[in-house]
Amino acid sequence: MANSNWLVKLKGLKPGPLSLVAEQTLVGLYSESIKAHAFRIRPPELETPKVEFPVAETVQFSGTGHYDSRLATRIRFIVKSYPDVTPPDTPSIVTVRNDGSWDVTATGWGLGKYTVQVVQEIADNDSGWIESQPREFRINNDMPPVTDVDYTKDYQPTFSGKGYNGATVSLKDSGANEIAPSVEVRNGQWSSRALEPWGPTNQRKVHITQSLGDHSSKPPCELLVSIPPLPPTVEKPPEEGLKPMFRGTCIEGATVSITFSGNNTFYSGIVVKGTWTFQRPVAFPADIAQTILVTQKFVEQPSDPQSRDFTVYPVMLKPVITHPAESDVGADVDIKGNDGVSGATMQLYEAQFQQKVGDPLLLGEDGEWEIRLTGLKFGPFTIYAKQERNGRSSEESERRSFNVMVPTPKITTPGADGKLTRTEILRGTGLPSARVEIWFEGADEPWLSDIPVSAGRLWQGTVTQPVGTYTIRARQLFTDGNVTHKSNFTESLTYDVTPAAPTIETPIEGEHVGRKVVVSGFGIPGDTVTAMLGIASNSALVQEDRTWSVAVEAQADGNLVLEVRAMLDGFESEPATSSVVAGVYLPIITEPAEGRWVHDPVVFAGTGEEGIGQVTSWFNTELKWTPLLTVEAKQWRGASGEVLRPGGNWCRFRQTLTLGTRLSDWANSARFEVMPIPGAISSRKDPTSG
């Protein structure tokens, strides 16, 4: 304290009412307190509030103030100046919250400049308020920029956002050219579509401002617009064919990329103007669902993928019938064709009533096919073929017409260039229940007709013809209901009618014969019979009694075949044959000499080859007159063991030959006379037989 004055500076005093007293001390002695003195401590001057315009003509003030739990603190506004004639609403007095924050809104605050004072007041506990120093500040309510700006990504985009009610929103490019119509903001919203299609674009700048009267938002809101290309279109590919051509529309100049489900390979499409095409080099598996995904890239932006599901099937080709030609066929016929599809079922149809004929054929591979039809009705017949696979049918093939003919019969007897005798059986095969006709070549009517064919497919007919050469044809007729169907004629068959082979009576089969052989038998009167033994032959005419006889001379020993043929008018029969054993060696009988008188026992002698021989009766060689005689040194001799008949006699001699088992020819004696022996009795019962 100096000069009786004192000064104390106090700091940190709380805003609000304050009562102070003063004391002084001197050497430990306290003065009396002076009367209490009241003070009003101002709250601190408020910081400039935060000013916002959340919506048009609405202002929001906010900030922090003084807070005392014992004394209420409030904020009060005074609008000092404003742009319009009518003042705006003054913000209401607002109380500072516990955390020191406060905010308040007011309406009627249009665009323009404002001067505002704000005062912080604290209660003085005496129904009054202690004010802070006022804080004065200016507010420029300029036109705000548009907010929440967006655009659609179609080729003619629509721009939208939030703005100042009543303001006009303008959209321009970097060159200040309008790109969309100006639009008024209503209910805080605006929207405007581009004046023309943009197509795909990348980072295209748009400047957006909103204006109301003299107030415009600054700077313009800059919007970068990027519109990717739309997905290309994908047309439905053809279902037929395992390598379909895919196509669709795209942007001219775009790059088209293609991939398929389950495959990480990407392919490039061929783009011509606004169309893309693609054909995968690898065939797709048949009957399996697939998905194609196609994107296009333009202005460095890829589109979203466009997908399409598809399933492909083998091309259902129109079948082609190649066989039979349009001609005559049998009731059983093989239908052949091509252009079959593996896995398809081929079916033949009768064209008139479109009914199935024959069994369906499942094709194991592409190309040729064959179906057998059996038991077709005779007459004209027209068919077509159609194939089907998994419910998908081909076109019908071209019609194929043919005539189902009764099958041509066959002639089995005679064969080609064969021979028949004058009375013979024609034989053949045919269709059961048919009737066969036989025609001479060039004839106007059948020679034989109505020959039935058995269930066993056989037919036959007995014919009698003169010898000669004949050419015949055969056909068969089959009656179905009231209609008789005729087969084609067989190929012409030429044959000869010849005499029948003669019958050989002698010599019998296996008979031993000598050099001279008399052959006899039966034949047809008028035929000439020729017998051949080895290289020797002779001929004779068959007599009216049907007999014939001819002599031939064997030229060698051994087993020979006798062949006898009949001939008439140059036509020769088949040979009748008989096997004989020829002995051409001829021994000699020298005793009894010719005309000599001999008496019993008669002695016989002669010459021959080494072997064994025997003398027999000339009339019956079964009557043996001597025992077996040995030929030695080319001589033989022996006496009769029988009493011979008196008078003239003849004998025969035949021997075996040591070299082999051959027999000689019969040697015949000359006549000799046997003198009777008085009182002798012959051993023969019948003397005349010997």
- pLDDT for residue 43: 94
Which of the listed residues 469, 498, 527 is the one where a domain comes to its end? 498
Residues 384-410: pLDDT tens digits?
A: 999 999 888 999 999 999 999 999 999
Q: Are residues 594 and 660 in the same domain?
A: yes
C-alpha distances in Å from residue 145, one per residue of 111, 193, 506: 13, 19, 148
Which two three-digit tokens encode residue 262?
């389950």
Report if residue 73 sits inside a domain: no
Report if residue 102 sits inside a domain: no
Q: What are phi and psi of 138, to 5 degrees?
A: -105, 145
Q: Is the predicted pLDDT of residue 185 greater than 90, yes or no?
A: yes
């967006």: which residue's tokens?
150
Residues 309-351: pLDDT tens digits?
A: 999 999 899 999 999 987 889 889 999 999 999 999 999 999 9
* Structural domain containing residue 520: 503-582
Domain count, the chain: 6
Q: Would you call 567 helix, strand, or coil by DSSP?
A: strand
The whole-number average pLDDT for the span 666-687 is: 71
Q: Would you call 216 helix, strand, or coil by DSSP?
A: strand
The more confident residue out of 679 and 481 is 481
- pLDDT for residue 549: 95
Residues 584-619: pLDDT tens digits?
A: 888 999 999 998 999 989 999 999 988 999 999 999
Cα–Cα distance measured from residue 605 to residue 589, given in angstroms and rounded to the nearest whole number: 6
**pTM score:** 0.51
Residues 449-503: pLDDT tens digits?
A: 999 999 999 999 999 999 999 999 999 999 988 899 999 999 999 999 999 999 9
C-alpha distances in Å from residue 336, one per residue of 303, 361, 383, 399: 54, 12, 12, 13
Q: Are residues 595 and 682 in the same domain?
A: yes
Q: Are residues 463 and 522 in the same domain?
A: no
- pLDDT for residue 660: 58
Cα–Cα distance measured from residue 42 to residue 135, given in angstroms and rounded to the nearest whole number: 13
Using pLDDT thresholds of 50, 70 and 90, give the confidence band for residue 629. very high
Report if residue 20 sits inside a domain: no
Q: Are residues 653 and 597 in the same domain?
A: yes
- pLDDT for residue 371: 97
For residue 676, whether the previous peptide bond is cis, meaning omega lies within 30 degrees of 0, is no
- pLDDT for residue 445: 95
Q: Are residues 205 and 281 in the same domain?
A: no
The terminus-to-terminus CA distance of the chain in angstroms comes to 220
Quick one: DSSP state of residue 689?
G
Which amino acid, one-letter code, is at 383? I
The more confident residue out of 273 and 32 is 273
Contact 255, 267 (CB under 8 A): no
The whole-number average pLDDT for the span 48-57 is: 90
Q: Are residues 592 and 684 in the same domain?
A: yes
Q: In the chain, what percentage of residues exceed pLDDT 70?
A: 97
Contact 601, 639 (CB under 8 A): yes
Using pLDDT thresholds of 50, 70 and 90, give the confidence band for residue 2. low
Q: Is the predicted pLDDT of residue 281 greater than 80, yes or no?
A: yes
Q: What are phi and psi of 287, to 5 degrees?
A: 70, 15
Which of the listed residues 449, 477, 498 is the one where a domain comes to its end? 498
CATH code at 414? Answer: 2.60.40.650
- pLDDT for residue 686: 40
Q: Are residues 508 and 489 in the same domain?
A: no
The whole-number average pLDDT for the span 571-587 is: 90
For residue 324, whether the previous peptide bond is cis, meaning omega lies within 30 degrees of 0, is yes
Report if residue 283 sits inside a domain: yes
Per DSSP (E only), the strands in 391-433 are 392-393, 400-404, 410-413, 419-421, 423-429
Q: Are residues 431 and 518 in the same domain?
A: no
Contact 631, 608 (CB under 8 A): yes
- pLDDT for residue 514: 86
Using pLDDT thresholds of 50, 70 and 90, give the confidence band for residue 642. confident
The whole-number average pLDDT for the span 231-243 is: 93
The whole-number average pLDDT for the span 661-677 is: 87
Pick the range with the lowest mean pLDDT from 47-51, 128-132, 292-296, 654-658.
654-658
Report if residue 603 sits inside a domain: yes
Using pLDDT thresholds of 50, 70 and 90, give the confidence band for residue 39. confident
Cα–Cα distance measured from residue 663 to residue 338, given in angstroms and rounded to the nearest whole number: 78
Which two three-digit tokens encode residue 264?
């990480």
Q: Would you call 473 helix, strand, or coil by DSSP?
A: strand
- pLDDT for residue 684: 42
Burial track 646-673 (b if 16+ CB lie within 10 A, e otherwise): beebebbbbbbbeeeebbbbbbebeebe
The whole-number average pLDDT for the span 60-65 is: 96
- pLDDT for residue 33: 66
Q: Are residues 531 and 571 in the same domain?
A: yes
Using pLDDT thresholds of 50, 70 and 90, give the confidence band for residue 659. low
Which two three-digit tokens encode residue 190?
């605006």
Q: Is the predicted pLDDT of residue 267 greater than 70, yes or no?
A: yes
CATH code at 205? Answer: 2.60.40.10
C-alpha distances in Å from residue 248, one per residue of 228, 238, 242, 267, 298: 18, 13, 19, 15, 16
Using pLDDT thresholds of 50, 70 and 90, give the confidence band for residue 10. confident
Which of the listed residues 310, 338, 364 is the one where a domain comes to its end? 310
Contact 501, 573 (CB under 8 A): yes
SS (H, E, C) 602-628: CEEEEECCCEEEEEEECCCCCCECCCC
The whole-number average pLDDT for the span 647-653 is: 94
- pLDDT for residue 1: 60
Q: Is the predicted pLDDT of residue 22 greater than 90, yes or no?
A: no
- Per DSSP, what are the bridge partners of residue 571? 568
- pLDDT for residue 685: 39
Residues 6+ apart with CB under 8 A from 424: 413, 414, 462, 463, 465, 497
The more confident residue out of 327 and 356 is 356
Q: Are residues 254 and 267 in the same domain?
A: yes
- pLDDT for residue 679: 59
């077509």: which residue's tokens?
384
Report if residue 123 sits inside a domain: no
Report if residue 48 sits inside a domain: no
Q: Would you call 598 helix, strand, or coil by DSSP?
A: strand
Q: Are residues 395 and 416 in the same domain?
A: no
Q: Is the predicted pLDDT of residue 107 greater than 60, yes or no?
A: yes
- Range ranked top by mean pLDDT from 515-519, 539-543, 584-588, 608-612: 539-543
Nearest CA to 344 among 225, 240, 210, 471?
Answer: 240
Q: What are phi and psi of 616, to 5 degrees?
A: -125, 170
Report if residue 101 sits inside a domain: no
C-alpha distances in Å from residue 343, one per residue of 287, 312, 359: 11, 14, 16
Q: Are residues 553 and 593 in the same domain?
A: no
Q: Is the predicted pLDDT of residue 34 greater than 80, yes or no?
A: no
